[in-house]
């Protein structure tokens, strides 16, 4: 990996880690989910959404579908700017509520088990789907987080991003692992 191109992503991760450290002084969330929250924040920073998905919205809606393992790690993002809008965290128990919640990013927890129906329902609506279950991108999700040799990595389904109308930064794509 080219250090110059990846430097911006690593700097953003490090800066966000400092924000998390300050916000989670009492009971920190699991380290795995602190790191995943950093990745999610950086996915937002390196993605361009179609302008029309923000019409009528004053916030950037970051939704978590299924059991929330992030805890306060994700809460630290609330109010932070994303594409010129403050981030609002929404926790959803059922997939049927994703469309009504006006989500710009949906994190699908591994415990929820992503479905083709959910991913099809948000495809073409400017929603960045991020998962953590094996086969998430093969089902039509845009980004999947996974652990490899003790390191958190991610893979990208470029076609799913295009169908969603999202523009992923070339820097982000360079850091992505090959689809598994």
Of the ranges 15-29, 101-115, 148-162, the best mean pLDDT one: 148-162
Do 41 and 83 contact (CB within 8 A), yes or no?
A: no
**CA angle at 108 for the pair 102 and 112, rounded to the nearest 5°:** 120
What Å distances lie between residue 70 and 89, 151, 160, CA to CA? 11, 18, 25
Mean pLDDT across the chain? 85
Neighbours of 137 (CB within 10 A): 26
* pTM listed for this prediction: 0.82
Task: Give 21 or 92, the one with higher predicted confidence.
Answer: 92
Per-residue pLDDT at 27: 65
pLDDT surpassing 50 at residue 104 = yes
Do 77 and 34 contact (CB within 8 A), yes or no?
A: no
Element (H, E) at 81: strand 81-82
d(CA 109, CA 64): 7
């Amino acid at each position: 990996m080219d250090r110059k191109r990846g430097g911006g992503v690593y700097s953003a991760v490090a800066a966000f880690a400092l924000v998390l450290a300050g916000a989670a002084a009492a009971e920190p969330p699991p380290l795995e989910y602190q790191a995943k929250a950093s990745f999610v924040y950086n996915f937002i920073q390196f993605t361009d959404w179609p302008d029309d998905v923000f019409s009528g919205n004053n916030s950037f809606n970051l939704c978590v579908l299924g059991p929330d393992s992030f805890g306060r790690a994700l809460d630290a993002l609330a109010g932070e700017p994303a594409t010129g809008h403050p981030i609002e965290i929404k926790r959803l128990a059922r997939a049927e509520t994703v469309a009504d919640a006006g989500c710009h990013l949906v994190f699908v927890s591994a415990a929820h088990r992503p479905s083709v129906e959910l991913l099809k329902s948000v495809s073409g609506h400017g929603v960045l789907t991020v998962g953590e279950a094996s086969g998430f991108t093969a089902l039509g999700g845009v980004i999947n987080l996974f652990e490899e040799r003790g390191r958190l990595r991610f893979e990208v389904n470029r076609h799913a991003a295009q169908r969603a109308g999202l523009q992923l930064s070339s820097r982000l794509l360079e850091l992505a692992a090959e689809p598994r």
